Structure 1
């Protein structure tokens, strides 16, 4: 029987490149290590923030292997790895799942294919995920992110139906829908199926509704602040946790305004001293204008709090 990942905070790690767009291995390792030292529960390799769709099969496998090696060599064997294995065909997705196990991942996270949205009926979505989960050698999580799947948004009935598969153990809800999250957590025990918020701006709201935590982009910048909030929640200090949650909501919004993935890389490079700003086209690096103004100032305040923890 497959089991869900441990409850906690997971980071879909950005991937750093050199100017020639090859892996910047020292920067990748520095980032993984800072996240682990920040106390996070696990790392998602090849999530949307890891530019998975811009990488070759070999690069995707190497990113997982490098992450596992970096964690293990530095005493963080307990930090879980969830591998993003989404692809546009069941055949390719199955191959990525096998690659993920061989490279050292503990779980997989799979997007719904989206090249042909009219073909992706509820019946076809269920068939795809079940077929891949049947063949997957690791516990399988369903990734719901309408922004990157041509607007396909799995409803709670569809996800609940998939949760009955013996190898499907959880979901990431980047739709940010707390009603959907709560319907799932109140229907399926968390010991059998982990429901994870996909954005920091609803992290505490999700936890209060029974979620198992979150997989969110903002911990790339603020891992300690997220873990502080999570610890306050676990201790029952909801009022204190809510104060930090308000900051995380502001930070989530501001990160999108300073350039998303490119902005995260630029902020990490500027304030933590490793990595560069290179992203693979068609993404764009953050501009000088984006790293200024009120949104950037808000993120600078949060980074100061992070460094004080």
Structure 2
């Protein structure tokens, strides 16, 4: 049975991982266990699938559809599901959006097209999101990349996008700049209704939440959802001492997850879950490849420092 939750994106939204067998097929049993592990954490408001963390770029349309089906079957009755729309093509984005809507997703996370790395005009970016909004009434979360890389939106474009696409309910902020992050919070969360800013600045999560974000959406929430939920709650309650203590633990993991090359961040998170006994293997799909034993050892020490693993 498909269940859809009414959900205005806010709070703690982990982006889960997708386990694979050695033959690179989806390990559905391990995925179900991972879903239960993350969604049973108090304070988690929703989960995200079919995104960077689930290696959506290496998954077919049918596999993404199956991931949503499994998620809906396992946790859909109790947890809103945010489905990623990860594609360069606006027409394929519409196809994915229709699939996610029909499959019971509660919101969509709209990635920017990779075409923008060659340059973008505001009309292009707005048209891409408009086409998705044309085929679904689900609330949209616009993924805001760092503008320096070409895929991020200038604030003026972001504001135009919000004005022209009323179903945009939030942004996932990865702008990489504290000053711009605060400008976005002031410009978007003061609107009626507010467009929530969900931090994904996982390398400096504490600082970004203190700026006033109304939530966070992060792949590292697949490993430390409890710490994310506790940190968000502490910041919301202005308990600075507790927030700093939690930040110290989170910082240990951020230092090993979010390091060069950045592309391996979710690769590293899988290895962390293997070390914690929560995944049977850390297989990733090409072009990603397994990280070195030395790096896995650094992750182990970081988990010990974060009090997530015994020495």
Shared fold by TM > 0.5? yes
Counterparts of 1:185 and 1:256 in 2: how far apart (Å)? Answer: 24
Counterparts of 1:288 and 1:117 in 2: how far apart (Å)? Answer: 34
Counterparts of 1:138 and 1:275 in 2: how far apart (Å)? Answer: 35
Matches within 5 A, 1:9-24: 9-24=12-27
Counterparts of 2:265 and 2:140 in 1: how far apart (Å)? Answer: 27
**Correspondence for 1:200:** 202
Matches within 5 A, 1:130-279: 130-146=130-146, 151-164=150-163, 165-189=165-189, 191-257=193-259, 259-279=264-284
**Contact 2:48/2:82 (8 A) holds in 1:** yes
**Correspondence for 1:283:** 288
Shift of 1:96: 0.2
**Contact 1:175/1:198 (8 A) holds in 2:** no
- 46-55 or 199-208: which moved more? 199-208
Shift of 1:53: 0.8
Shift of 1:117: 3.1
Counterparts of 1:9 and 1:144 in 2: how far apart (Å)? Answer: 17
2:63 is the alignment partner of 1:64: no
**Contact 1:83/1:109 (8 A) holds in 2:** yes
Counterparts of 2:212 and 2:160 in 1: how far apart (Å)? Answer: 19
**Contact 1:28/1:275 (8 A) holds in 2:** no
Name the CA shift for 1:188/1:262 in 2 (closer, same or farther; >3 Å).
closer
Shift of 1:98: 0.7
The CA RMSD over aligned residues, in Å, is 2.4
Name the CA shift for 1:91/1:297 in 2 (closer, same or farther; >3 Å).
same
**Contact 1:195/1:212 (8 A) holds in 2:** yes
Counterparts of 2:249 and 2:239 in 1: how far apart (Å)? Answer: 16
Stretches of structure 1 lacking an aligned partner (at least 5 in a row):
none
Counterparts of 1:4 and 1:188 in 2: how far apart (Å)? Answer: 18
- 17-26 or 206-215: which moved more? 206-215
Residue deviations 1:142-191 (CA, integer Å, cap 9, x gap): 112349x9642212222122122211111111233332232122123364
The aligned length equals: 298
**Contact 1:97/1:137 (8 A) holds in 2:** no
**Correspondence for 1:42:** 46
Stretches of structure 2 lacking an aligned partner (at least 5 in a row):
1-5
Counterparts of 2:82 and 2:271 in 1: how far apart (Å)? Answer: 24
Counterparts of 1:117 and 1:212 in 2: how far apart (Å)? Answer: 29
Shift of 1:270: 2.2
Q: Under a length normalisation based on structure 2, what TM-score does the superposition of the two structures give?
A: 0.87
- 264-273 or 16-25: which moved more? 264-273
- Structure 1 runs, 4 residues or longer, greater than 4 Å off: none
Residue deviations 1:30-59 (CA, integer Å, cap 9, x gap): 111110112322111011111001011011
Shift of 1:257: 4.2
- 25-34 or 174-183: which moved more? 174-183
Counterparts of 2:18 and 2:143 in 1: how far apart (Å)? Answer: 19
Q: State the SS of the aligned residue for 2:187.
A: coil
Counterparts of 2:149 and 2:280 in 1: how far apart (Å)? Answer: 31
Q: Under a length normalisation based on structure 1, what TM-score does the superposition of the two structures give?
A: 0.88
